[in-house]
Amino acid sequence: MFLRNLSASDLLMGIYLFIIAAQDVRMRDIFNREALDWSSSAGCQVTGIIAMVSCEVSVLLLTFMTAERFLAVVYPLRRSRLSFAKSLTCVLIAWVAGTALSICPVFLGQSLGNFYGSNGVCFPLHIQSPYSDGWQYSAVLFLGVNFAAFITIAVLYVTMLRNIVKTRQQASGHTSRLDLVVVRRFTLIVLSDALCWIPIAVIKICALCHVIMSGKMDRWMDGWMDGRCLMIHRHNLGHSVGK
């Protein structure tokens, strides 16, 4: 269930990237004339919402998946596997919470301004104008919710790794080749998460500290995040299927 919904959230990111690519082709030679109309249009708002729903739902689903693995590995004898009903509840929470976080800026337009239209790719990183309308909400999402999720995932995976290695060493008295495979796989998962979120957090903090950055930073960060997050989802998908 988690994997199917994670795939669905990835599909939304693909739709977002397709829309942005189509707009890039359409406005390639006339962007200066069309930029304001596009960024303030309903299409840009919808595009940004699609991207944020994908991002937030994926983050929450990955956190739930990691928590489920943690319970199964660390407490294998306590019936810690989630039932279908509990899994469905977690999935619904992820979609409802992710959607709510994404559409709130639209309904709070007066206080958050043109939240999704702060740049041409309709993604609210607020790099070039870090203190424009809605910057607090953007900071909460990227430095609060998403980064907290990364820390949670990293801590749970490290705890699982230590538990697995300790248990097998106690059973066999030495570290086996399988242990090294587990260490490598878990390290790649945490490293992938870190490569996705740490650059975003660092650059977001730099922007809030008035560090001057290139005008291309929004597009670079948007492409970096989309590519890295999709890689993480595929990596976790492969890891889960392979278990």
User: Confidence band (pLDDT; 50, 70, 90) for 241?
Assistant: very low
What whole-number distance in Å separates Cα of residue 153 and Cα of residue 135?
26
Question: For tokens 């993604």, what's the residue?
Answer: 123
Q: Is 212 left (phi over 0), alpha (psi -120 to 50) or beta?
A: beta
Q: Is the pLDDT of residue 93 over 90?
A: yes
Three-state DSSP state, 126: coil
Domain ranges of the chain: 2-242
Q: What is the mean pLDDT of the segment spanning 12-27? A: 88
pLDDT digits (tens, 9 = 90+) for 201-239: 788 888 888 776 665 555 555 555 555 555 555 445 444
Give the residue with greater pLDDT, 234 vs 127: 127
pLDDT at res. 243: 46
| Separation of alpha carbons 67 and 89, rounded Å | 14
Residue 60 has pLDDT above 60, yes or no: yes
Provide mean pLDDT across the span 122-129: 82
Q: Which pair of structure tokens corresponds to residue 88? A: 């469905």
- Whether 179 shows a pLDDT value over 60: the answer reads no
Lowest mean pLDDT among 79-83, 91-95, 108-112: 79-83
Of 36, 51, 37, whose CA–CA distance to 105 is shortest?
51
More confident residue, 149 or 128: 149
Q: Of 107-116, 136-145, 152-161, 177-186, which gets the smallest average pLDDT?
A: 177-186
Does position 47 have pLDDT exceeding 90, yes or no?
yes
Q: What is the pTM of this model?
A: 0.81
Ordered DSSP codes for 10-42: HHHHHHHHHHHHHHHHHTTTTHHHHHHHHHTSH
b/e burial code for range 36-56 (CB count within 10 A of at least 16 → b) = eebbeeeebbebbbbbbbbbb
Give Cβ neighbours of residue 46 (< 8 Å, ≥ 6 apart). Answer: none
What is the per-residue pLDDT across 144-176, written as a single tens digit (0 to 9) for each?
888 888 889 888 888 888 887 777 777 665 555
CATH topology of domain 2-242: Rhopdopsin 7-helix transmembrane proteins (1.20.1070)
